[in-house]
Structure 1
Amino acid sequence: MRRKEFEMMDSQETESFLQEVSFGVLGTTGEDGWPELTPVNFVFHEGALYFHGSKIGQKMANLKARPQVTFSVAKEYAIVPSYVLDPKLACPATAYFKSVVIKGYGEPVDDLQQKAEALGAFMRKLQPEGGYDPIDPADPAYVPQLRGTSVVRIRVERITGKYKFGQNLKERKLSQVMDGLEQRGGELDAETIALMKAYCPHHQEK
């Protein structure tokens, strides 16, 4: 059961996170009934999630047989060592992270204009500096590429988010963790502290 204090219900914040992360895991069901997981790049565009790839392969066969999918995206911000809160017990060790799970239906995008729009959204996300001709289905150079590439739209039925940044801690322990992260000074520790202040009720009230 998911703890209520870690739930993220803000749709704008969830969409912002999906725009930030480029890599997720697609869950489909194989013909033998076993779940199959495939890591893919993705883009969230106009309320749907898109990925692309070859027209053949196991994930495409799975989608054709059973279009129901689960898609998971996660980003770890900090591993919090146990000794930050307890000098002896290992129990307080934890991780702070954001995660989103999407359940929906995967459907192929066949229209070249829609493909171009989805792939254009990919490029704006993954190569924001430009350096390429716009993807245009009227451009003869792009037509064979668009026809030969499979683009899949995941029509979202349900989306849930879990953001864990110490919301379950009392103010004193929360301060201990922030002090420990500040002293450590890891790559994402400053950002983690800022997110703790943003999401934890002790700091939101101030």
Structure 2
Amino acid sequence: MLIHPWDAPTSDSEWQEWLALHDFGQLTVNGLDGEPPFVQPLHFAYDPRAGADSPGPAGLGEAITHLARPNPIWRALEASPRVTLSVVDDYTFIPGPWHTPEGAPTEHGTPTSFYAAVLLYCTAHIVDDPQLKADLLRRQVGHFQPGGGTAPVEPGQEPFGRMLPGIRGVRLDVTDVRAKFKYGGNKPEQMRRRVMDLLADRDGPHDAAARTHQIRRLSAAADAGTGA
């Protein structure tokens, strides 16, 4: 993923706070010889404080998930545990006329895409031990259902214990992160503010989220004294 300086996170907290609110992505695993990469959409729970055995820089954390045992991903994952978890959201299309330079004809404006993306480069560890799988599931359910409402998972106990053999857990130790917030950071401030107003007027899917990113990053640039 190409990341220009104006699209890079302003700090680690920017991508971490965004990722805390986005817990559905695509796990990409190298394919077996002669096969394309395997891509698995899934929910996951990310914990920046976990993953102590990660070989990467401290503080990158761990993501956990689980998949059905018949899933064809396992052979590829066992053969190559170096994987990428990709999360993309808050995307929207910016029409060319919105990016028309000052004084130029509207048809000279360049259309583009706005989006936020985080790539977590990870080392995957398959979890088959029944108790460790139960612990992993409790952590994942606790993330998505913090208020409870689901019976605890215990090996050999109803209602979920008998289902444990049908799944395998996955721990993803994060070894590197690539994050991008592509929201026109290389454009003049006047143009960026015009696009913010046009997004508010259009109010299409993801437009409000994209506008929020623009406002935040424009403010961050001002605070840093870098201008827009």
TM-score range, shorter chain: 0.7 to 0.9
> 8 Å contact 1:15–1:44 — kept in the other structure?
no
| Residue 55 (structure 1) aligned with residue 57 (structure 2) | no
| Residue 126 (structure 1) aligned with residue 144 (structure 2) | yes
**Count of matched residue positions in the alignment of Structure 1 and Structure 2:** 205
| Distance (Å, rounded) in 2 between the aligned partners of 1:89 and 1:102 | 37
Deviation of the 1:194 alpha carbon: 2.5
- Paired residue for 1:101, among 78, 96, 119? 119
- Give the SS at the match of 1:8: coil
- Paired residue for 2:96, among 82, 97, 106? 82
- Paired residue for 2:39, among 37, 40, 43? 37
- Give the SS at the match of 2:108: coil
> 8 Å contact 1:22–1:126 — kept in the other structure?
no
Deviation of the 1:12 alpha carbon: 3.4
Deviation of the 1:51 alpha carbon: 2.0
> 8 Å contact 2:90–2:210 — kept in the other structure?
no
Q: What letter matches 1:10 in structure 2?
A: S
Residues 27 and 162 (structure 1), Cα distance of their counterparts in 2 relative to 1, 3 Å cut:
same
| Distance (Å, rounded) in 1 between the aligned partners of 2:159 and 2:208 | 46
Shift >6 Å, 4+ stretches: none
Deviation of the 1:138 alpha carbon: 7.6
Identical positions, percent: 27
Q: TM-score, normalised by structure 1?
A: 0.85
| Distance (Å, rounded) in 2 between the aligned partners of 1:39 and 1:180 | 33
Q: Once structures 1 and 2 are overlaid, which stretch shifts more, 130-139 or 24-33?
A: 130-139
Q: TM-score, normalised by structure 2?
A: 0.78
Query: Tell me, which stretches of 5 or more residues in structure 1 are unaligned?
Result: none
Q: What letter matches 1:15 in structure 2?
A: Q
Residues 182 and 13 (structure 1), Cα distance of their counterparts in 2 relative to 1, 3 Å cut:
same
Q: What letter matches 2:21 in structure 1?
A: E
| Residue 148 (structure 1) aligned with residue 166 (structure 2) | yes
